[in-house]
Amino acid sequence: LRGAREPEQFGSLALDEEGRPRQLQQHGWTVDYLRWQAASDLAPSLPTKLYAQRERQWVRLAIRNWDLSAAD
């Protein structure tokens, strides 16, 4: 799973008070960012709980660890 918005496609992005994504709407999907881990010296603030829905399809995602290395 890769956490990236598709820049060429129109969508909407709502931010929270700290400037982090709160809700993303794109390709018929609505993604709600429900929980964030605090930023540290080694990593920025990253989401740890997400909920995504498109019509009758939905996904709940809980993330314990992020791999910030570049992927090909």
pLDDT value of position 70: 67
Q: Is residue 40 part of a domain?
A: yes
Q: Assess if residue 2 is contained within a domain.
A: no
Please report whether residue 29 resides in a domain. yes
> What is the per-residue pLDDT across 1-12, written as a single tens digit (0 to 9) for each?
666 667 777 789
- Which residue is associated with the tokens 């498109």? 54
Residues of the chain with pLDDT under 70: 1-5, 70-72
Number of domains making up the chain: 1
Burial 31-46 (b: 16+ CB within 10 A, else e): bebeebbeeeeeeeeb
- pTM of the entire structure? 0.81
Q: Are 6 and 28 in contact (CB under 8 A)?
A: no
Q: Rounded to an integer, what distance in angstroms lies between the CA atom of residue 4 and that of residue 62?
A: 16
Q: Is residue 4 part of a domain?
A: no
Residue 31 lies in a domain: yes
Would residue 41 count as lying in a domain? Answer: yes
In-domain check, residue 5: no
